[in-house]
Structure 1
Amino acid sequence: MLLVLSPLLSPLPAAADFSGVDYTLTNQNEQDFSAQNLANTSFAGATGRHANFSGADLHGAILTQAAFPNANFAGADLSGTLMDKVDLSGADLSGAILTGAIASGSSFRGANVTDADFSDALIDRVDQRSLCRDAEGTNPITGADTRLSLGC
């Protein structure tokens, strides 16, 4: 597709569509994916320290064995993601939707899960107990109570 911009008008797209892109085993440290369509992408084995995924649509994505310490997933849609053995330590998951996510063996140490929805998510019992200590709020999109969605 050819995009021609007038010198007087330089419109910027609201959000790019990167759905289905393969980021497997790539370095995405400090990258900005905020508000992007990343549905069904693969970040398997990728690193994304301090990456910004706030408001991004990641439903159905594969994040297996990736490392996203201190990444921003605030308000992101992570529903139906395969995120087993993922390092989410210190990540901001506030307001995120993780319904139906498979996150066994993942680390949520120090993650902010205020207003997150974990309904029908598969997480380890140790992580569930740890997250329940600080969990609070209600997801603004789904209306799910964070503590109830975690089974606290």
Structure 2
Amino acid sequence: MALGLGLMLGLLAGVLTAGAGPAAADFSGVDYTLTNQSGKDFSGQDLANTSFAGASGRQADFSSANLHGAILTQAAFPEASFAGADLSGVLMDKVDFSGADFSGANLSDVIAAGSNFSGATVTDADFSGALLDRVDQRLLCRDAEGTHPVTGADTRLSLGC
């Protein structure tokens, strides 16, 4: 038994000294429908194709998360951070994003009809191909500036300002 424990400890030491950092958890495809995720930390997580339909996520942190293809319809994410997140292809109709931070986020090809973006920050965000209400588009254009760091899209141009 001691030899087995020693071997295990040796292997563990090798893994720990190999320089590999902790891997981000993969929550892709998880169903968070109608749940309360307020204040939760999802930063850097793989949440592709998940459902947050009808969920509450006040001040949740989705910074640098992969939410590609997720469903956020009829949810509430006021004051949440989506900074640097991949929201491409997300269905986000009728969502409260008031005061949310989308700095450097990729929102290309989102469907966001009926959503509330009042007070949202969109510096360096990419909205290429996004479907937004005209009122939201005009509101976002007032403070839009910068260029998305990955896609190179000009924020104002991607919004059609």
Hey, which bits of structure 1, 4+ residues long, moved more than 2 A? 5-14
> Which residue in the other structure is 2:77 paired with?
68
Question: Take 1:36 and 1:79, find their aligned partners in 2: how far apart are those partners?
Answer: 15
**Identical pairs, percent:** 76
> Which residue in the other structure is 2:47 paired with?
38
Pairing 1:52-131 to 2, within 5 Å after superposition: 52-131=61-140
**SS state of the match for residue 149, structure 1?**
helix
Q: Offset at 1:14?
A: 2.5
Q: Offset at 1:47?
A: 0.4
Residues 33-69 of structure 1: per-residue CA shift (max 9 Å, x gap): 0000000000000000000000000000000000000
The unaligned stretches of length 5 or more in structure 2 are 1-7
> Which residue in the other structure is 2:153 paired with?
144
> Which residue in the other structure is 2:60 paired with?
51
Question: Take 2:158 and 2:131, find their aligned partners in 1: how far apart are those partners?
Answer: 11
Deviates more, 1:43-52 or 1:7-16: 7-16
Please identify which structure carries the higher helix content: 2
Q: Offset at 1:13?
A: 2.8
Give the TM-score taking structure 2 as reference length. 0.88
Larger radius of gyration: 2
Residues 71-129 of structure 1: per-residue CA shift (max 9 Å, x gap): 00000000000000000000000000000000000000000000000000000000000
Matched length? 148
RMSD: 1.6
The unaligned stretches of length 5 or more in structure 1 are none
Q: Could you tell me which amino acid in structure 1 is paired with residue 42 of structure 2?
A: F
Q: Offset at 1:12?
A: 6.3
Give the TM-score taking structure 1 as reference length. 0.93
Residues 14-43 of structure 1: per-residue CA shift (max 9 Å, x gap): 310000000000000000000000000000
Q: Could you tell me which amino acid in structure 1 is paired with residue 135 of structure 2?
A: V
**SS state of the match for residue 102, structure 1?**
coil
